[in-house]
């Protein structure tokens, strides 16, 4: 059987790479998931933000049906999704902030990208919830504010005309979500600072 490897996009000049959205979408479909790549990745990021040592099987249980023995297509798709899992965990703890949301590329219609961003945020909130963060009050103040904003983005449906102003607004919201998720991840799992020498 031929192994399939995700096409990757490099973010800026960092070494971190983000798998191609459509390839992940296809892998999820072949594995029997009812969710798309944006929501699935959002769910993963929410879960990892609560538990950085989360086993990949826990994420699979939230998205995928039980594997059928001998289903090579589903097995290969799970292997691909495992790559996404490992890359995402590394990105969330990248000191160069190389983390990226898995969303349709800039060549996709703006309305599709906006819809995917809402699904990504919905998935993130779900991921927090299944790992035990069900109330904003249990979060640090800054993280609680980010979560409220993500809930607004997930809940707001709106028509988008493909003009320059809306493209700019979309890019700014994506960047806000990206940095906000890194903040939540850091506040829920603070990286221990090196002891200072006196």
d(CA 39, CA 35): 6
Report the candidate in 92, 123, 83, 88 with the shortest Cα–Cα distance to residue 188.
92
**In the 8-state DSSP scheme, what is residue 136?**
G
pLDDT digits (tens, 9 = 90+) for 130-164: 998 877 677 899 999 999 999 999 987 656 666 78
pTM over cut 0.75: yes
Can you read off the two tokens belonging to residue 161? 């005309």
Angle made by CA atoms 98, 157, 148, in degrees to the nearest 5 = 55
Give residues with Cβ within 8 angstroms of 108, minimum separation 6.
Answer: none
Query: Domain spanning 11-188 has what CATH number?
Result: 1.20.120.740
pLDDT digits (tens, 9 = 90+) for 29-73: 999 999 999 999 999 999 999 999 999 999 999 999 998 888 899
């Amino acid at each position: 059987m031929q192994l399939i490897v995700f096409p990757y996009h490099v973010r800026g000049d960092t070494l971190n790479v983000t798998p191609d959205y459509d390839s992940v979408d296809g892998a999820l479909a072949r594995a029997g998931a009812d969710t798309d790549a944006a929501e699935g990745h959002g769910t993963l990021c929410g879960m990892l933000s609560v538990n950085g040592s989360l086993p990949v099987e826990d994420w699979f249980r939230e998205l995928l049906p039980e594997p059928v023995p001998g289903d090579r297509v589903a097995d290969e798709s799970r292997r691909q999704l495992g790559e996404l899992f490992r890359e995402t965990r590394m990105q969330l703890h990248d000191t160069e902030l190389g983390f990226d949301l898995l969303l349709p590329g800039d060549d996709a219609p703006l309305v599709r990208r906006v819809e995917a961003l809402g699904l990504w945020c919905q998935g993130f909130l779900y991921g927090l919830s299944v790992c035990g963060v069900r109330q904003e009050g249990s979060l640090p103040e800054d993280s609680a504010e980010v979560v409220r904003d993500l809930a607004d983005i997930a809940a707001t449906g709106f028509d988008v005309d493909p003009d320059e102003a809306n493209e700019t607004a979309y890019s700014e919201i994506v960047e806000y979500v990206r940095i906000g998720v890194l903040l939540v991840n850091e506040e829920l799992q603070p990286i221990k600072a090196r002891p200072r020498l006196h």
